Protein backbone atom coordinates (compact mmCIF):
# COMPACT_ATOMS: atom_id res chain seq x y z
CA UNK A 1 0.00 0.00 0.00
CA UNK A 2 1.32 3.50 -0.87
CA UNK A 3 1.97 5.95 1.96
CA UNK A 4 1.92 9.08 -0.24
CA UNK A 5 -1.02 11.51 0.13
CA UNK A 6 -2.61 13.34 -2.75
CA UNK A 7 -3.34 16.41 -0.57
CA UNK A 8 -1.55 19.56 -1.82
CA UNK A 9 1.07 20.88 0.54
CA UNK A 10 0.19 23.99 2.56
CA UNK A 11 2.54 26.90 1.87
CA UNK A 12 2.63 29.78 4.38
CA UNK A 13 3.91 33.05 2.91
CA UNK A 14 4.93 35.69 5.41
CA UNK A 15 5.03 39.38 4.30
CA UNK A 16 6.82 42.10 6.15
CA UNK A 17 4.95 45.40 6.12
CA UNK A 18 6.97 48.61 6.03
CA UNK A 19 4.88 51.49 7.33
CA UNK A 20 5.83 54.96 5.97
CA UNK A 21 6.23 57.92 8.27
CA UNK A 22 8.81 59.82 10.13
CA UNK A 23 11.28 61.33 7.68
CA UNK A 24 9.94 59.40 4.70
CA UNK A 25 7.82 61.01 1.94
CA UNK A 26 8.75 64.64 2.71
CA UNK A 27 8.76 66.04 -0.84
CA UNK A 28 5.69 68.12 -0.02
CA UNK A 29 7.72 70.07 2.51
CA UNK A 30 9.94 71.47 -0.23
CA UNK A 31 6.93 72.66 -2.22
CA UNK A 32 5.40 74.18 0.91
CA UNK A 33 8.65 75.99 1.73
CA UNK A 34 8.74 77.44 -1.81
CA UNK A 35 5.15 78.59 -1.43
CA UNK A 36 5.83 80.29 1.90
CA UNK A 37 8.92 82.00 0.48
CA UNK A 38 6.95 83.27 -2.51
CA UNK A 39 4.20 84.64 -0.25
CA UNK A 40 6.75 86.36 1.95
CA UNK A 41 8.32 87.99 -1.11
CA UNK A 42 4.87 89.09 -2.32
CA UNK A 43 3.90 90.72 0.98
CA UNK A 44 7.33 92.36 1.18
CA UNK A 45 6.74 93.83 -2.28
CA UNK A 46 3.30 95.13 -1.24
CA UNK A 47 4.80 96.72 1.84
CA UNK A 48 7.56 98.40 -0.16
CA UNK A 49 5.08 99.84 -2.65
CA UNK A 50 3.05 101.33 0.18
CA UNK A 51 5.87 102.52 2.42
CA UNK A 52 8.20 104.16 -0.11
CA UNK A 53 8.06 107.27 -2.27
CA UNK A 54 8.22 107.25 -6.06
CA UNK A 55 11.84 108.38 -5.98
CA UNK A 56 12.80 105.64 -3.53
CA UNK A 57 11.12 103.01 -5.70
CA UNK A 58 13.14 104.22 -8.66
CA UNK A 59 16.28 103.81 -6.60
CA UNK A 60 15.29 100.23 -5.72
CA UNK A 61 14.58 99.49 -9.39
CA UNK A 62 18.02 100.83 -10.33
CA UNK A 63 19.65 98.67 -7.67
CA UNK A 64 18.30 95.46 -9.23
CA UNK A 65 19.02 96.62 -12.80
CA UNK A 66 22.25 98.57 -12.40
CA UNK A 67 24.14 100.50 -15.03
CA UNK A 68 27.81 101.40 -15.15
CA UNK A 69 28.13 104.79 -13.41
CA UNK A 70 30.22 106.46 -16.08
CA UNK A 71 28.48 109.78 -15.50
CA UNK A 72 26.10 111.46 -13.06
CA UNK A 73 23.03 110.75 -15.20
CA UNK A 74 21.21 107.49 -14.59
CA UNK A 75 20.50 105.37 -17.64
CA UNK A 76 18.01 102.64 -18.51
CA UNK A 77 18.83 99.14 -17.35
CA UNK A 78 19.27 95.99 -19.41
CA UNK A 79 16.63 93.90 -17.68
CA UNK A 80 13.52 92.12 -18.92
CA UNK A 81 12.00 95.29 -20.32
CA UNK A 82 14.90 96.02 -22.65
CA UNK A 83 16.00 99.11 -20.77
CA UNK A 84 12.54 100.30 -19.74
CA UNK A 85 11.51 100.61 -16.14
CA UNK A 86 7.93 100.33 -14.91
CA UNK A 87 8.58 103.44 -12.80
CA UNK A 88 10.44 105.57 -15.38
CA UNK A 89 9.17 108.08 -17.89
CA UNK A 90 8.88 105.67 -20.85
CA UNK A 91 10.94 107.99 -23.05
CA UNK A 92 14.60 107.72 -24.00
CA UNK A 93 15.20 104.91 -21.50
CA UNK A 94 17.91 103.28 -23.59
CA UNK A 95 19.94 106.35 -24.55
CA UNK A 96 21.87 106.40 -21.29
CA UNK A 97 20.00 109.45 -20.01
CA UNK A 98 16.84 107.93 -18.60
CA UNK A 99 15.13 111.30 -18.94
CA UNK A 100 12.65 113.09 -21.15
CA UNK A 101 15.26 115.41 -22.61
CA UNK A 102 18.04 114.34 -24.92
CA UNK A 103 20.63 116.32 -22.93
CA UNK A 104 19.31 116.68 -19.38
CA UNK A 105 21.12 118.53 -16.68
CA UNK A 106 22.17 116.69 -13.56
CA UNK A 107 19.02 117.76 -11.72
CA UNK A 108 16.57 116.91 -14.51
CA UNK A 109 17.05 113.20 -15.07
CA UNK A 110 14.10 110.93 -14.49
CA UNK A 111 15.58 109.04 -11.56
CA UNK A 112 17.67 111.64 -9.75
CA UNK A 113 21.37 111.28 -9.00
CA UNK A 114 22.11 107.60 -9.73
CA UNK A 115 18.54 106.73 -8.81
CA UNK A 116 18.48 108.15 -5.26
CA UNK A 117 17.82 111.49 -3.65
CA UNK A 118 21.02 113.32 -2.75
CA UNK A 119 19.49 116.11 -0.75
CA UNK A 120 17.05 114.46 1.64
CA UNK A 121 16.63 117.60 3.73
CA UNK A 122 15.43 119.61 0.75
CA UNK A 123 13.06 116.81 -0.22
CA UNK A 124 11.65 116.69 3.30
CA UNK A 125 11.16 120.48 3.32
CA UNK A 126 9.29 120.29 0.01
CA UNK A 127 7.01 117.51 1.23
CA UNK A 128 6.31 119.46 4.42
CA UNK A 129 5.40 122.55 2.39
CA UNK A 130 3.01 120.50 0.24
CA UNK A 131 1.33 119.04 3.33
CA UNK A 132 0.94 122.53 4.79
CA UNK A 133 -0.79 123.74 1.63
CA UNK A 134 -3.08 120.71 1.48
CA UNK A 135 -4.07 121.17 5.11
CA UNK A 136 -4.84 124.84 4.48
CA UNK A 137 -6.99 124.01 1.46
CA UNK A 138 -8.85 121.01 2.80
CA UNK A 139 -8.99 121.91 6.47
CA UNK A 140 -7.11 118.76 7.49
CA UNK A 141 -5.51 120.56 10.40
CA UNK A 142 -8.53 122.60 11.41
CA UNK A 143 -10.54 125.21 9.53
CA UNK A 144 -10.42 125.18 5.73
CA UNK A 145 -9.79 128.29 3.64
CA UNK A 146 -12.68 127.42 1.35
CA UNK A 147 -16.37 126.86 1.89
CA UNK A 148 -18.04 123.49 1.52
CA UNK A 149 -19.67 124.57 -1.74
CA UNK A 150 -16.37 125.64 -3.23
CA UNK A 151 -14.45 122.64 -1.89
CA UNK A 152 -16.19 120.27 -4.31
CA UNK A 153 -14.44 122.05 -7.19
CA UNK A 154 -10.93 121.24 -6.00
CA UNK A 155 -8.67 118.21 -5.53
CA UNK A 156 -4.96 118.00 -4.81
CA UNK A 157 -2.32 115.38 -5.48
CA UNK A 158 1.46 115.16 -5.25
CA UNK A 159 3.49 113.86 -8.19
CA UNK A 160 7.15 113.73 -9.16
CA UNK A 161 6.73 117.15 -10.79
CA UNK A 162 5.19 118.78 -7.75
CA UNK A 163 1.87 119.40 -6.02
CA UNK A 164 -1.09 119.71 -8.40
CA UNK A 165 -4.08 121.79 -7.36
CA UNK A 166 -6.84 120.82 -9.77
CA UNK A 167 -10.02 122.88 -10.03
CA UNK A 168 -12.90 121.83 -12.27
CA UNK A 169 -16.52 122.36 -13.25
CA UNK A 170 -18.97 120.73 -10.83
CA UNK A 171 -22.64 120.42 -11.66
CA UNK A 172 -24.14 123.70 -12.80
CA UNK A 173 -21.26 125.72 -11.33
CA UNK A 174 -18.65 126.27 -14.02
CA UNK A 175 -15.25 127.95 -13.86
CA UNK A 176 -15.78 129.96 -17.06
CA UNK A 177 -18.72 131.28 -18.98
CA UNK A 178 -19.73 128.70 -21.61
CA UNK A 179 -17.36 128.69 -24.57
CA UNK A 180 -15.32 131.67 -23.33
CA UNK A 181 -12.35 132.53 -21.12
CA UNK A 182 -14.47 134.81 -18.93
CA UNK A 183 -14.13 133.58 -15.31
CA UNK A 184 -17.22 133.06 -13.18
CA UNK A 185 -17.53 134.08 -9.53
CA UNK A 186 -16.65 130.48 -8.61
CA UNK A 187 -13.25 130.72 -10.30
CA UNK A 188 -12.60 134.16 -8.82
CA UNK A 189 -13.18 132.78 -5.32
CA UNK A 190 -10.91 129.82 -6.07
CA UNK A 191 -8.23 132.14 -7.44
CA UNK A 192 -8.28 134.09 -4.16
CA UNK A 193 -7.72 130.90 -2.18
CA UNK A 194 -5.04 129.49 -4.50
CA UNK A 195 -3.14 132.76 -4.46
CA UNK A 196 -3.15 132.79 -0.66
CA UNK A 197 -1.88 129.23 -0.30
CA UNK A 198 0.81 129.63 -2.96
CA UNK A 199 2.08 132.67 -1.10
CA UNK A 200 2.88 130.28 1.76
CA UNK A 201 5.74 128.85 -0.32
CA UNK A 202 8.28 130.09 -2.84
CA UNK A 203 7.82 127.22 -5.30
CA UNK A 204 7.60 128.10 -8.97
CA UNK A 205 4.25 127.57 -10.67
CA UNK A 206 3.01 125.91 -13.87
CA UNK A 207 -0.53 126.39 -15.16
CA UNK A 208 -2.37 124.00 -17.46
CA UNK A 209 -5.90 124.27 -18.84
CA UNK A 210 -8.06 121.45 -20.20
CA UNK A 211 -11.40 121.58 -21.97
CA UNK A 212 -14.08 119.09 -22.79
CA UNK A 213 -14.30 117.74 -26.35
CA UNK A 214 -16.61 119.37 -28.85
CA UNK A 215 -18.69 117.54 -31.50
CA UNK A 216 -16.55 116.39 -34.41
CA UNK A 217 -18.95 118.00 -36.87
CA UNK A 218 -17.63 121.44 -35.99
CA UNK A 219 -15.72 122.98 -38.87
CA UNK A 220 -13.62 125.11 -36.53
CA UNK A 221 -12.86 123.31 -33.27
CA UNK A 222 -12.01 125.93 -30.62
CA UNK A 223 -10.54 123.65 -27.95
CA UNK A 224 -6.88 124.55 -28.52
CA UNK A 225 -7.31 128.29 -28.51
CA UNK A 226 -9.88 128.15 -25.71
CA UNK A 227 -7.67 126.12 -23.37
CA UNK A 228 -4.70 128.43 -24.03
CA UNK A 229 -6.81 131.51 -23.33
CA UNK A 230 -8.13 130.00 -20.09
CA UNK A 231 -4.62 129.14 -18.88
CA UNK A 232 -3.57 132.72 -19.61
CA UNK A 233 -6.61 134.07 -17.76
CA UNK A 234 -5.69 132.03 -14.71
CA UNK A 235 -2.15 133.41 -14.82
CA UNK A 236 -3.49 136.97 -14.94
CA UNK A 237 -5.77 136.37 -11.97
CA UNK A 238 -2.94 134.93 -9.87
CA UNK A 239 -0.66 137.85 -10.70
CA UNK A 240 -3.43 140.28 -9.78
CA UNK A 241 -3.62 138.57 -6.40
CA UNK A 242 0.04 139.00 -5.53
CA UNK A 243 1.86 136.12 -7.23
CA UNK A 244 5.13 137.38 -8.71
CA UNK A 245 5.35 137.04 -12.47
CA UNK A 246 8.76 135.36 -12.41
CA UNK A 247 7.36 132.47 -10.32
CA UNK A 248 5.11 131.35 -13.18
CA UNK A 249 7.37 129.23 -15.36
CA UNK A 250 4.86 127.65 -17.73
CA UNK A 251 1.31 127.95 -18.97
CA UNK A 252 -0.12 125.35 -21.30
CA UNK A 253 -3.36 124.71 -23.17
CA UNK A 254 -3.97 120.96 -23.40
CA UNK A 255 -7.28 121.21 -25.30
CA UNK A 256 -9.28 117.96 -24.95
CA UNK A 257 -6.30 115.59 -25.21
CA UNK A 258 -6.15 114.49 -21.57
CA UNK A 259 -9.72 113.86 -20.39
CA UNK A 260 -10.31 113.36 -16.68
CA UNK A 261 -13.27 111.02 -17.24
CA UNK A 262 -14.15 108.49 -19.92
CA UNK A 263 -16.82 110.70 -21.48
CA UNK A 264 -14.67 113.21 -23.35
CA UNK A 265 -17.60 115.64 -23.70
CA UNK A 266 -18.39 115.71 -19.96
CA UNK A 267 -18.15 119.05 -18.17
CA UNK A 268 -15.75 117.46 -15.64
CA UNK A 269 -13.05 117.72 -18.30
CA UNK A 270 -13.19 121.53 -18.07
CA UNK A 271 -10.47 122.07 -15.52
CA UNK A 272 -7.35 124.00 -14.55
CA UNK A 273 -4.20 122.53 -12.99
CA UNK A 274 -1.96 124.78 -10.92
CA UNK A 275 1.30 122.92 -10.25
CA UNK A 276 3.62 123.98 -7.43
CA UNK A 277 6.89 122.75 -8.91
CA UNK A 278 9.37 120.89 -6.77
CA UNK A 279 12.53 122.69 -5.64
CA UNK A 280 14.32 119.39 -4.87
CA UNK A 281 14.72 118.29 -8.49
- Within this chain, do residues 111 and 168 fall inside the same structural domain, yes or no? no
What pLDDT band is residue 234 in, cutting at 50, 70 and 90?
Answer: very high
**Length of the chain in terms of residues written:** 281
Band of the pLDDT at 34, cuts 50, 70, 90?
A: very high
Q: Do 183 and 105 share a structural domain?
A: no
In the predicted model, is pLDDT for residue 90 greater than 60? no
pLDDT at 4: 58
Would you say residue 196 lies in a domain? yes
At residue 150, the pLDDT reads 75
pTM over 0.75: no
DSSP annotation of 164 reads E
109 and 128 share one domain:
no
Structurally, the chain folds into a number of domains equal to 2
pLDDT at 86: 47
Q: Looking at residue 170, what is its pLDDT?
A: 87
Helices within the chain (DSSP H only) = 27-51, 54-64, 120-138, 148-151, 185-198, 223-240
Q: How far apart are CA 250 and CA 228, in angstroms?
A: 11
User: What is the pLDDT, as a whole number, of residue 18?
Assistant: 60
Q: Which domain holds residue 65?
A: 30-117
Rounded mean pLDDT, 225-245: 94
Q: What percentage of the chain has pLDDT greater than the value 70?
A: 67
Amino acid sequence: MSTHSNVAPIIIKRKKKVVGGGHHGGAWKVAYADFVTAMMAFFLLMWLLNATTEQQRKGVADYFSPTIPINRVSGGGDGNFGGDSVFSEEVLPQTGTGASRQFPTASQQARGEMGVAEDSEKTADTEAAFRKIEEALMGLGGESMISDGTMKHIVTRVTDEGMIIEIFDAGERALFEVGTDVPTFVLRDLADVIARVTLLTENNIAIGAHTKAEPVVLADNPVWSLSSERANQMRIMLEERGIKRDRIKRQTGHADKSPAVENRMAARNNRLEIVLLRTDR
